[in-house]
Structure 1
């Protein structure tokens, strides 16, 4: 089964790894096999991960063609960012 694992370390930067895994592989196995967490100095157990934009638990079984995504923590609250943009346009 083919899956891809993606992590965006910064805006407009993408680190993408394509993997060939055995049928029945889990999200946690894909993250470990990709090596993205280690490459970027992250602790995979503390990060949220998902499939196609939806957060999923690590034991989720993957399907062929899935896109596994590692999500970085927010640096700014989205509501506050919207307020700041609004104030800047007045």
Structure 2
């Protein structure tokens, strides 16, 4: 089946399309994508993952056409950042 895997650091966005066997999980797709080697800062024990913007576990089975997204941790409180911009 055909799936995509997406990750963005603060400098670059990467979206790879790949084929995975039927029954593959989000973890399987991420490992096959090569993004873990390309972006060593990704820690699947810490980074959340999602499918089309919905947070899922790494063991979630994929369907044809899914886009697996690896999310970076939030490092700033959005409400605080908004307040700083107004001052």
TM-score, normalised by the number of residues in structure 2: 0.90
Gaps (5+ residues) in structure 1? none
Aligned match of 2:31: 32
More helix by share: 1
> Which position in structure 2 is the counterpart of 1:52?
52
* Aligned-residue offset at 1:85: 1.9
Aligned pairs (5 A) from 1:1-90: 1-10=1-10, 13-41=12-40, 42-87=42-87
Paired residue total:
86
Using the TM superposition, give the Cα deviation of residue 78 of structure 1 relative to its aligned residue in structure 2, in angstroms: 0.9
Superposed CA offset, 1:13-43 (max 9, x none)? 3111111011111001011111212211122
TM-score w.r.t. the length of structure 1 is: 0.87
Structure 1, 37-46 or 62-71: larger mean CA deviation: 37-46
Task: Please identify runs of 4+ aligned residues in structure 1 that moved more than 3 A.
Answer: none
